Structure 1
Amino acid sequence: MNAIKTKIIATIGPCTDTYDVLKKLHKAGMNVARINMSHATHKDAQNVIDLVRQINAEQSADYGPIGLLLDTQGPEIRTGVYQGDIDLKVGDIVNLTIREDLDVETSSIQINYKGLIKSVSKGSRISIDNGLINFRVLAKDNENLTCKVLDGGKLGSKRHVNLPGVRVDLPSITKKDRKDINLAIKNNISFIALSFVRSAQDIHELRAILKKNKSSAKIIAKIENQEGLDNIHEITKATDIVMVARGDLGIETDLADLPNIQRRIMYATAKWGKRSIVATHLLESMIVNPTPTRAEVTDVANAIYEGADAVMLSGETSVGKYPVQCIKMLKKIAAKTENFRTLGYEEFLSDKSDWQNIAIGARDLASRIDADGIVVVTRSGQTADVISSTKPFRMPIYAFTNNLDTFQQLSLVGGMQPHYMKSISNQASTINKIKLILRSKVRSKKSLKFVLIGGVYSASHSDSIQIIST
């Protein structure tokens, strides 16, 4: 089989939000479709949701399910709206203002955050447009900051603003986020990403909203600033999935330290047995070029060595010229890289439960008997999670579930090849059906041997390991 362990997330945008292109992305290897609510309207989002559901009905049996991920905008700070671009040159002295009731001149830049003046001090750095334009604060009054341009460029409207090292006094879940989360709940979206997570309390707040609305959506905590990094272990324990959101993280922290920060986060996810995503600038050059740089290929490989469950594309597939080629390139890099062991962070797994120990036992048994794969029978997806946390090496994992929500959510569990079965209640019948599916998936003349982990005496957790042959 050509399946890889690493899952691929593609952000859907103007160049990919059609039936034909989405179908090609899926066939090329896309596992999850991301809807970025910083840019998408509810109409845009609903279009993607409907198209993905249609494609899932047609080809999930062949290529696995496409999970849907709604990414909230979060508490963002942005510049105002201008008639044209503002040309900023290094050394210019400009005025940053929080006032809205004036005709802002070209030397003034409006910022939509009322707490800006209190948040910064003389000498503070302010970054705009993903760190491309930078300022140093020289002086301030009640409504304005006098700043020197450190890195210039053309500044357009509604550009993202970062205040490195500053705790922004904005709610973790904004009014806009709540509307977008309600859209996700209404459409039974599999994953909701919470932007700028600063503490475990942010996760608890979203969890309460989901529980109140009886939603089974998995929560993705996006780590994007120093405060989130400082609380990484508590956040990881509280959430389902962690995203290394390197765009803002590379601005809010020391850019030179970003590779080490990424490893710290990946270590935390491995320790607490949670799923992980590495995102931003993976194949950035492929927005305009048909092939990536050597550094980008190495960057993707390093994320896989660190044990990432998934890698995520942003502009590459939302506005880029080569979205399908990007998916194929990620799949090719993963296929090569997965022939080598991870850095071994999974050895620090702290979960000592019987469930997790059964999973470790299944992994080790499969290795000792040179099995053709591990079979997981799961209702909630938890057995798939504990197996995935052990990182079986060069060992395919086939997950079977009778729960459609779980089937979709397995799209983001590293190593899993998900299969939907209408019923798994009768053990003998289920195993016979699994054998037939495996025989069709793994084409071989010889008898095949698998280690199966599932629940024999319990419907709520796995309690047995078996060796099955086809």
Structure 2
Amino acid sequence: MNRRRTKIVCTVGPASNDWNTMRAMQEAGMDAVRINMSHASQEDAARSIDIVNRLNHELRYPIPIMLDTNGPEIRTGILSEPLLLKQGELVVVSGSEKPEGLENLPAIQVGYPRFESTVRVGDTIRFDNGLINLKVKEKAEQGLMCHVLDGGKLGSRKHVNLPGVFVELPAISAKDEEDVKFAKEHDVSFIAQSFVRSPSDIQAMRSLLGESHQWVKVIAKIENQEGVREVESIAAASDALMVARGDLGIETDISALPRLQRNLVQTTLKLGRRCLIATHLLESMVENPIPTRAETIDVANAVYEGVDAVILSAETSVGQRPAVAVQQLRRIIEESEHAPGLDFSQALITNDVKQNVAWSAVELAKRINASGIMVVTRSGYMADLVTNCAPLDVPILAFSNSMKTRTRLMVNRSVYTHSIPFDSDPEKTIQTALQVLAERESVQPNDRFVLVSDVLSHSGVESIQIRQI
């Protein structure tokens, strides 16, 4: 059973938020949908969710939904017209609502009242995703006097980054609270939490989700230096980690980004968490029908690192050919998976007894040349543990009586899911799973499968078996 291991998450937006395009993306290889609340309204999101729900009634494997929060952010104020900044000139930047220029210098307002007291002389201020860069020269009564390092036209409400500066903003904004409430109402599978700086940020999100929605998985987006420094404790507190290379490449030295990605992925997989990579995977395909050579190699490197999923952003949200971008990404992944990867799973921490059971199941599957690993699971936990072991040559086939579990597991590397009822007789449950396998998967007579579960006995004892079609 040859299956693509690395999953594809697609961001939906104006170019793709309709039935025909989303269906075409699914047919091209889309496994999950991401809704970016930094750009989408709740009305937009509701439309996307409705389309996905309708699609899921027709599909063999369900499409989970990931809601990406806006997070704490600083933006420039409103300008009557774009401000042209020239390299080498001086400007005044202030957190005041009505900044005044100094000696007729241009003035820029940013939406952070503690701006002057937080930013230091020598710090860099980056606007509009790093396209415009200033260096703080001195502090003045009117604000911070800055040299323009990289000029350009600065418009209203542009994003502001302060690399290396601790920004005292709440981890969850008022907008985030409203969006998470919306996500709970619509049974979204994942919350991707932006600009996570510490484990307490994750705990705040879990508290916001409440007891009724602890099944929702929280993805920590690593986007700044604080997140990088605290990655081990953040990954341990979260369910998954996203290497969000957009802001991360602005908040850190861009030349260090490949090393940071490698370290973040390795740390995440070592701790047995899901890992996703986002931003600029196929950025040229926003306009072009094929990716650049460098982009194909970037995708391949993510595959070699063993991540669970790669995420398309602008390529599918505003790009000219969303389904073509998905198709190209799928083809690159499938080709790359023929080559050996880095196998970070060898460093997996295996203190947990159940994790060792999962390892044993994977090793057994290798020894008997199994066609797949069957996992019978309620919560998905045992399927997560098998995913941690990164089996290379066999799919993980998860069977659950929970649609929520089935759906969220579709982001796991190598996992494909089916719904079955659980019987009080474990053997009947297993026979049902085998019947579903025979009917819905391309299995052959005498194919052997390793079956692992911790729900097939009332005692919760883990079970490993070999079953044959």
Shorter-chain TM-score above 0.5: yes
Give the residue type in structure 2 aligned to 1:346: S
For residues 294-315 of structure 1, the C-alpha deviation after alignment (integer angstroms, 9 at most, x for no partner) is 1111111111111100101111
Cα distance in 2 between the residues matched to 1:448 and 1:360: 21
Is residue 48 of structure 2 the alignment partner of residue 51 of structure 1?
Answer: no
Report the counterpart of residue 84 of structure 2 in structure 1.
87
Counterpart contact for 1:134–1:150, Cα < 8 Å:
yes
Q: What SS does the corresponding residue of 1:300 show, helix, strand or coil?
A: helix
Change (3 A) 1:142 1:467: farther
d(CA) in 2 for partners of 1:50 and 1:214?
20
Q: Which runs of 5+ in 2 are unaligned?
A: none
**How many angstroms does 1:121 deviate by?**
1.6
Corresponding position of 2:73: 76
Does structure 2 conserve the Cα–Cα contact (< 8 Å) formed by 1:117 and 1:142? Answer: no
Quickly say closer, same or farther: Cα 1:434–1:457, change in 2 above 3 A: closer
CA contact under 8 A between 2:93 and 2:109: conserved in structure 1? yes
In 2, Cα distance between equivalents of 1:465 and 1:235: 32
Pairing 1:81-230 to 2, within 5 Å after superposition: 81-101=78-98, 107-230=106-229
| 2:313 corresponds to | 314
Partner residue in 2 for 1:38: 38
Aligned-partner Cα distance in 1 for 2:455–2:88: 71
Aligned with 2:181: secondary structure? helix
Cα deviations across residues 360-413 of structure 1 (Å, max 9, x unaligned)?
111111111111111111110001100000000111111111101101111211
Match of 1:247, SS state, is helix
Whether the 8 Å CA contact 2:354–2:462 is kept in 1: the answer is yes
Which moved further from structure 2: 449-458 or 329-338? 449-458
Question: Residue deviations 1:23-82, cap 9 Å, x none?
Answer: 1112221111111111111111111111111111122x2xx1111111111111111122
User: Gapped runs of 5+ residues in structure 1?
Assistant: none
Q: Does the aligned pair in 1 maintain the 2:100–2:107 contact within 8 Å?
A: no
Q: CA 1:360/1:50 → structure 2, altered by over 3 Å: closer, same or farther? A: same
The question of whether the paired residues in 2 share the 8 Å contact of 1:453 and 1:462 is answered with no
Determine the structure 2 residue equivalent to 1:416.
415
Whole-angstrom distance in 2 between the partners of 1:317 and 1:3: 23
Distance 1:424 1:10, change over 3 A: farther
What fraction of aligned residue pairs are identical, expressed as a percent?
A: 45
- Count of residue pairs brought into register by the alignment: 467
Q: Decide whether aligned partners of structure 1 residues 70 and 462 sit closer, same or farther in structure 2, where only a CA change above 3 A counts.
A: farther
CA distance in 1 between counterparts of 2:455 and 2:381 reads 15
- If the length of structure 2 is used for normalisation, what is the TM-score? 0.95
Deviations 1:435-465 (A, max 9, x none): 2332344435542111111136546856011
Q: Deviation per CA, 1:97-121: give whole Å up to 9, x if none.
A: 2222468899222211111111212
Are residues 1:20 and 2:17 paired? no
Cα RMSD over matched residues?
Answer: 1.8
Q: How far apart in 2 are the matches of 1:45 and 1:440?
A: 35
**Is it true that 1:284 corresponds to 2:283 in the alignment?**
yes
Distance 2:455 2:46 in 1: 40
Show the 5 A alignment for 1:194-273: 194-273=193-272
AA partner of residue 29 (structure 2):
G
* Alignment CA distance shift 1:461-1:81 (3 Å): farther
For 1:131, the aligned partner's letter is: G
Distance 2:23 2:218 in 1: 26
Is 2:358–2:386's contact at 8 Å kept on the other side of the alignment?
yes
Residue range with higher mean Cα deviation, 206-215 or 274-283: 206-215
Within a 5 Å distance, the mapping from 1:320-399 to structure 2 comes to 320-399=319-398
> In structure 2, how many angstroms separate the alpha carbons of the residues matched to 1:440 and 1:106?
73
Distance 1:252 1:316 in 2: 23
For 1:425 and 1:25, the matched residues in 2 are separated by: 40
